[in-house]
Amino acid sequence: METGITPALIALDWGTSSLRAYLMDNNGRVLDRRGNRHGIQNLPVPGIAGFEQVFAEISADWLAKYPGLPAVAGGMVGSAQGWAEAPYVPCPADTATLAGRAVAVESASGIRLLIAPGVIFDLPDANPDVMRGEEIQIAGALADHPEFGPRACIALPGTHSKWVQVSDGRIARFATYMTGELFAVLSRHSILGRLMPEEEGTDAEARSAAFTDGVNAARKGSAGDLAHQIFATRTLGLTRRLPAEALKDYLSGLLIGSELVSGLALMRDTLASDTPLVLIGEDALCERYVRALDILGVRVSAKLENTAPRGLFQLAFAAGLVPSLPSTQATAP
Amino acid sequence: METGITPALIALDWGTSSLRAYLMDNNGRVLDRRGNRHGIQNLPVPGIAGFEQVFAEISADWLAKYPGLPAVAGGMVGSAQGWAEAPYVPCPADTATLAGRAVAVESASGIRLLIAPGVIFDLPDANPDVMRGEEIQIAGALADHPEFGPRACIALPGTHSKWVQVSDGRIARFATYMTGELFAVLSRHSILGRLMPEEEGTDAEARSAAFTDGVNAARKGSAGDLAHQIFATRTLGLTRRLPAEALKDYLSGLLIGSELVSGLALMRDTLASDTPLVLIGEDALCERYVRALDILGVRVSAKLENTAPRGLFQLAFAAGLVPSLPSTQATAP
C-alpha cells in the first residue's frame, strides 16, 4: 500500500465461485487487493454466518487499521442465495439506479455493507434475461471510458457471456449466452470430451487452425444447427482430420463463433454507424473473442479487464459513501 | 417361445449402455428376447474377455438347445472400442453394403458372430458424420415398410438423433444432432438443472404448455441463438413465469424444436413433393417429436419402434446366414 494515501472504501466483487476484495482511496485507486475461493457457493459455513466470517476475515486488517470504512459489494452476493437479496432493477439502468435500489446489511462488527442489485431485461412477449455483477463491470468501464457512454455494444465473455447495449450511459438491453458453461459441460460430461486429452496441447498451429475452422463452421450455421455442428468435434477426431489436442479449440471456436453470429445480429441496429464494440473480461478469453471477431471481419474498439473495482467505486459514490468522483486521468493505471 | 418353430438366428443389438438379444426364426420372427445393461462401456471384465462372457451368458440356453446357430450383431459392438472394429462404410449404403463389409469373429464356444459396420457420410468441404446401429434400424424399417424405400426422410430421436435421407433403398445422407445428450448434460451438470426438481412433475397442463413454449421459441430462433435461448430455462424459473416442474419440459421443447427446425431445413429438398417423414425410436420420445412437429405444422407418416431385430435379420440374409427373406405380412406382430 502506498503511504500518505487515505483509504476510503472496501469494495467486494463477490461471485458464485470467488471473492475479490479491494481497498480503495478517495480517488477510486486500488490501494490493496486480495481474493479467495469463498464464492457464495463455497462458504466455510452455510448461510449468513458464512458471509459474516468470510467478510470479517478478508477485511480484518484493513478495518483494524481504518475502522468504520464504508463497504460495497456486487455480484451473486445480492442474489436470493446471497447475504441479502437485492432484487433485479429493470432496464434502462445506470449506476444511480443501482445505488438507489441497493440493499444494506450491517455486519457483526458494525460495518454497513451496501449490496448492489442485478439488472433484468424484461419485455412483453419475450423471455426475461438477468445479470448480476456485469452491471458493475459496465459501470466501471463507462467511468474509465466516458466516450462509450452515449452508445456502445459491450460484450462480456465468460461462463454466461453478456451482450449489452448501452445508450445514454445506461444499460438499455442485453442477452445472456451460456457459451462458457456449454463448453465446460460438453468437454467434461459429454461424449465430445472422450477424445480430448487431459493435457493442454502444444501444437499451436494446429490448435489455431482448429479454432478458425470452428468459427467458420459457426459462420455457415443456420437456425438450430448447433446440436448438429458440435458433433463434428467427435467426427473430426474419429476420422483424424483434427489432432486430438485441437478438438477443444474446434469446439471453442464453434461455440464462440455461434455466440458472435447471434450477438452481432442481435446488436445489428446498435452496431450500425460506428458504434464501438467493447469487450470486458479475462484477457486470454477476450483474446479468443478478438480473433473470432477478426475472422468474421469485425473490429473491437477496446478490450478491458477487471473494471469491477472502479464500478464498485462508482456505486459507492452514487450512494454517497465516498465524497468525490475521480477524474478519469487520475485513476489510469 | 412358440412350439414347432425352428430358431435360425441369434441377433444382437449391442450398444454403448445396453445389449438386447433376439432369437429369431427363418421367417424373421422374434421367438425369444432378453436384455441387460452390459453395453460395450459396461462389460463385467474389460476387453475381448468381457464381450465373450456377456455373449456366452446371454445366449447360453439358446445355444445349448440349438447348437451352431448363426449370430449377427449391430451397434457400438463394431466400433474401435467394440469386440472387433467394422470400419464405417460410405453413403450411399444399404443392407447389402453393410453385409459385404461386416466383420466376423469366432466366439470361444465356436460360434461365428458377424458384426455390422457403421455408416459414414463424408463429402468434400463438409464435416464427416457417422452412425452405428441406426443403419440397422433403418434396414428393418425399410424391410417392414417397402413403401418408404424409394424416397423417405427418417428421423431417429435419441441421445444422438439422426436425420436420414433414404433414396432407392439406400442411406443417401444423414446428420447427427446431440439433442438427447445436450438435454441430459444441461439438466444434470449445468446451472439450468438447479431450479429443476428431482421428481417428475404432476401438472400435465403446465408441463405441456411449457413444452409448446420451448418449441415456439426454437421456431423463432436464428443462427447461433441456442446458447442464449437455453438460458431462458433459468430466467423463466427465477421470475416464476414457469413452475419449477415445467422447466425440463421447456428445455426439452426448445432442444427438440431446434433440432426440428434444422433437420427439416436440411431435408427440405427431400421432403418436398409428399416424401414421407418417418420416426423410429422409443415411443414416448417419438411422441414428443410428433407433438413438436405438429406445432411446426408438419405431419409424420409413421412412428416405428424397435426395428433393429428385423434389420439384423435382413443383414443375416444379405450375408447368406439365413436362407430366405420373410414376406412383410408374415412378420407383422
ipTM: 0.94
> For position B126, which CATH number holds?
3.30.420.300
Give the pLDDT of residue A5. Answer: 75
Q: Tell me, yes or no, whether A126 and A12 share the same domain.
A: yes
Number of residue pairs across A and B with CB atoms under 8 Å? 147
Contacts of A17 in chain B (CB under 8 A): none
Contacts of A175 in chain B (CB under 8 A): 228
- Is the pLDDT score of B325 beyond 80? no
Contacts of B232 in chain A (CB under 8 A): 127-129
- Is the pLDDT score of B178 beyond 70? yes
Q: Which of A176, A231, A255 sits opposite B231 (nearest CB)?
A: A176
Query: Residue A313 falls within a domain, yes or no?
Result: yes
DSSP A242-311: S-GGGHHHHHHHHHHHHHHHHHHHHTHHHHSTT--EEEES-HHHHHHHHHHHHHTT---SEEE---HHHH
Give the pLDDT of residue A125. Answer: 85
Contacts of A257 in chain B (CB under 8 A): 224
State the sign of the Cα–Cα–Cα–Cα dihedral A18, A33, A318, A28. Answer: negative
Q: Tell me, yes or no, whether A112 and A182 share the same domain.
A: no
Query: Residue A141 falls within a domain, yes or no?
Result: no
Give the pLDDT of residue B331. Answer: 42
Give the pLDDT of residue B332. Answer: 38
Q: Can you count the helices (H) and strands (E) in chain B?
A: 12, 14
DSSP state of A211: H
pTM confidence score: 0.94
Nearest CA in chain B to A258: B224
Give per-residue pLDDT as tens, B201-234: 899 999 999 999 999 999 999 999 999 999 999 9
How, if at all, do strands B112-115 and B103-106 pair? antiparallel
Give the pLDDT of residue B240. Answer: 95
Q: Is the minimum CB–CB distance between B3 and chain A shorter than 8 Å?
A: no
> For position A220, which CATH number holds?
3.30.420.310
Q: Is the minimum CB–CB distance between B194 and chain A shorter than 8 Å?
A: no
Q: Is the minimum CB–CB distance between A134 and chain B shorter than 8 Å?
A: no
Which residues in chain A (84-123) have CB-CB distances under 8 A to chain B? 120, 122
Percent of chain B with pLDDT over 90: 90
Low-confidence ranges of chain A (pLDDT < 50): 329-333
**How many folded domains does chain B comprise?**
2
CB–CB of B317/B96 below 8 Å?
no
Query: Residue A15 falls within a domain, yes or no?
Result: yes
Q: Tell me, yes or no, whether B11 and B49 share the same domain.
A: yes
Give per-residue pLDDT as tens, B106-131: 999 899 999 999 999 999 889 999 99
- Is the pLDDT score of B172 beyond 80? yes
Q: Is the minimum CB–CB distance between B238 and chain A shorter than 8 Å?
A: yes
Contacts of A130 in chain B (CB under 8 A): 235, 238
Query: Residue B286 falls within a domain, yes or no?
Result: yes
Stretch B160-182: mean pLDDT, rounded? 97
Across the interface, do B231 and A188 touch by the CB < 8 Å criterion? no
Average pLDDT, chain B: 94
Across the interface, do A236 and B260 touch by the CB < 8 Å criterion? no
User: Which of B225, B236, B267, B293 would you mutate first to test chain A, the one with the most A CBs within 10 A?
Assistant: B225
The domain in which residue B192 lies consists of 177-300
Rounded to whole angstroms, the Cα distance separating B153 from B273 reads 12
Query: Residue A98 falls within a domain, yes or no?
Result: yes
